[in-house]
Amino acid sequence: MKVGFLKLKEDNTLIRGIGISGTGRIGRLLIRKMLSSTYNQWKLVGINSIYPVETVAHLLKYDTVHGIWDANISIQDGNLLINGYLIQFVSERNPENIPWGRMNVDIVIDATGEFRDRQGTQKHIAAGASNEGMGKHASML
C-alpha cells in the first residue's frame, strides 16, 4: 500500500524509500549496511554516483578494509542488482538533476561531503526528495 511516496507493509508499518548520493567510502558502507541488515523499515531505491555503475559494483564487492562482501552483485540495464534487489543508478553531479521523485525516494543521504549546508540540501529536495539529511560527512535527516 502506498501513502503518497511512503509505502506501508502488510502490518501497516512504514517503509521509507532511501536514496544515497555519493559512493565513496561512507556511501559504500551505507549501501552494504542497508542491504545486509534485517531491519526493513528502510528500502534503498536509488544511488547517485559520479563513478560508472561497473566501478561501484566492483568496489561494493571488494573492499580493501572490510573484505569481500558476501552478496550477489550484478548490473541490469545500467542499474545495480544486489541479491536480487534492483536499485536504480544515476550519475549526476548536480543534485537538482537527480530524479529522486521518480525513484520514490523519501530521504536522501548525501555522502558526497559537498552539500553540508541548508542551501546544498535544498537541491536534493528540489529534485523530488521528501527530506534530505544533514551531517558532517554523510548527511541524513
Q: Is the pLDDT of residue 34 over 50?
A: yes
DSSP symbol at 47: E
Classify residue 98 by its DSSP letter: S
pLDDT tens-digit map of 121-131:
666 666 667 76
C-alpha 29 chain-centroid distance: 11
pTM of the model: 0.80
What does the alpha-carbon distance between residue 76 and residue 124 come to, in Å, rounded to a whole number? 25
Amino acid at position 90, single letter: V
| Domain ranges across the chain | 43-91, 96-114+127-141
